[in-house]
Amino acid sequence: MVSYAANVRIFIARLAGTPVFDPAGDQIGRVRDVVVALRGPRPPRVHGLVVEVQPRRRVFMPITRVRSIEAGSVVFPGKLNLRRFEQRASETLVIGELLDRAVTVDGVRMTVLDLAMERERSGDWLVTKVAVLKPGRGLRRGETIVVDWADVTGFESVQQDQGAANLLAAFEMMRPADLASALHSLPAKRREEVAVALDDDRLADVLEELPERDQIGILGMLAAERAADVLEAMAPDDAADLLQDLPHERAQALLELMEPREAAPVRRLLTYAEDTAGGMMTSEPVILPPGATVAEALARIRQEDITPAVAAQVYVTRPPHETPTGRFLGVAHFQRLLREPPSTLVGVAIDKSIDPIRPEFTLAEVASYLATYNLVAAPVVDELGRLVGAVTVDDVLDHLLPADWREREPVTTTDAEVSAAGTRASGSKAQGATDGG
């Protein structure tokens, strides 16, 4: 039984990221887009929702199977068909492809901010309204108006420069990994428009989560100066990994454009073989002198931009306290720090039982080391006894998994991997019959 409020109108961009629940109240995924079929002047028919389930897999949810769409939730009865969503040539993604489109209303060129869908008496969902931004005057922002679909022209045409401001607004609250997944699923032209619109820090975070092919494609279409700025904003180990995948001449040119201070750790990382501790490590772990207090150490690892794996340990060294440091003294685990009074010196909390690893350790040796001592990170020390970086468990996983793991279909199945009373094909066939073929 499908239930909706009377004359319900749902603005689609606001659905982005909405949790999807089963009737028992368990969350099964999040809405990432809405699939429609454009039909010229007639309102587009809604085929269904693109829902992202773990692990970062996008699947199709027929709109006919949705029980309710309310503020903050979508309820879907039964089980999802977990076959990966593949967009057909006749289908359009509302959020990914129609937001920011330049259209014409009453002879005036306007920008699409959002689209609204409504449920007809027949049970079909149609896109009936378009929220558009009228041109502004001078520095003043234009007026936002909502018009009927039939009053708008321009959705069928291909645009060279669509922009991405409103699409990014819909994706604003996504974590970098989720935004990377959304970006990967977009058509190449749209992906480039979104990448150009992101600021350097956000684009750097997203690039770190993208498959190698997408990384190279996006970096390649950026102007050299912008590409260098984005590399500077990336973690040095991720920047080094990306540069290793570029042609040598291109990589060297970008390194020359980077600020020397930002390029230096990247250059050091590039001297190590990719599948060694030196090639995997981050050169920016949390480093403190032995005279720092536990309170100072906890304040450092609480910083939002430090990943959980890096924040798991504080590395204690003699000055200087940037890699390569002075003499490495030891590791203080954050659990030990939590048990000590805030005024205790970090040097007192060093774990004497942990020996550092060398940059030439192989991937297998690093993985064995972490497993043996139940660690999420390990200090890497050179022949002079200086800390040069730290290898974290996520670095190891990245290298243990196949190179294309971000793009692969997971091979495991679950009890949920059954059709929800019919496949996408049968649902689309029924919709096509209702639409007259």
Per residue in 196-205, pLDDT (tens digit) is: 889 999 999 9
d(Cα 343, Cα 348) in Å, to the nearest integer? Answer: 11
**Residue 82 neighbours by CB distance under 10 Å:** 19
Q: Of 177, 206, 186, which Cα lies nearest the Cα of 98?
A: 186
Strand partners of residue 314? 332
Distances in whole angstroms, Cα of residue 317 to Cα of each of 96, 254, 379: 49, 32, 11
Rounded distance between C-alpha atoms, residue 352 and residue 149, angstroms: 70
Which segment of 2-16, 119-133, 257-271, 391-405 scores lowest on mean pLDDT?
2-16
Q: Give this prediction's pTM.
A: 0.69
Q: What is the pLDDT of residue 233?
A: 95
CA dist 356 and 54 (Å) reads 35
Distances (CA, A) of 116 to 151, 210, 291, 296: 14, 31, 60, 51
Which residue segments constitute the domains of the chain, with CATH numbers given? Answer: 1-175 (2.30.30.240), 198-271 (1.25.60.10), 287-400 (3.10.580.10)
Q: How many Cβ atoms from other residues are within 10 Å of residue 276's Cβ?
A: 21
Question: Is the pLDDT at 346 greater than 50, yes or no?
Answer: yes
Percent helix, percent strand, percent coil in the chain, to nearest 5: 35, 25, 40
pLDDT classification of 160: cutoffs 50, 70, 90: low
Cβ partners under 8 Å of residue 157, min gap 6: none
pLDDT surpasses 50 at 121 = yes
- pLDDT category at 161 given cuts 50, 70, 90 is low
Task: Provide mean pLDDT across the span 18-24.
Answer: 91
Residue 389 · residue 278 · CB < 8 Å: yes
Under the banding of pLDDT at 50, 70 and 90, the label for residue 62 is: very high
Give the span between the Cα atoms of 226 and 261, in whole angstroms: 17
Is the pLDDT at 296 greater than 60, yes or no?
yes
Sign of the torsion formed by the C-alpha atoms of 23, 29, 32 and 37: negative
Count of H-run helices and E-run strands, the chain: 16, 18
**Is the pLDDT higher at 152 or at 428?**
152
Quote the longest CA-to-CA distance of the chain: 78
Distance of CA 363 to the CA centre of its chain: 26
Distance CA 385, CA 355 (A): 11
Angle at 388 between CA 357 and CA 363, to 5 degrees: 40
CA angle, residues 114, 22, 64, in degrees to nearest 5: 55
- Pick left, alpha or beta for residue 67 (phi over 0 → left; psi -120 to 50 → alpha; otherwise beta): alpha
Instruction: Examine residue 187 and say whether the peptide bond preceding it is cis (omega within 30 degrees of 0).
Output: no
pLDDT digits (tens, 9 = 90+) for 242-295: 999 999 999 999 999 999 999 999 999 999 998 999 999 999 999 999 999 999
Question: Sign (positive/negative) of CA torsion 120, 126, 128, 130?
Answer: positive
C-alpha torsion 212→275→390→54, nearest 10: 40
Query: How far apart (Å, rounded) are the C-alpha atoms in residues 265 and 179?
Result: 27
What is the C-alpha to C-alpha distance for residues 353 and 355, in angstroms, rounded to an integer?
7
Q: Tokens representing 140?
A: 């003043």
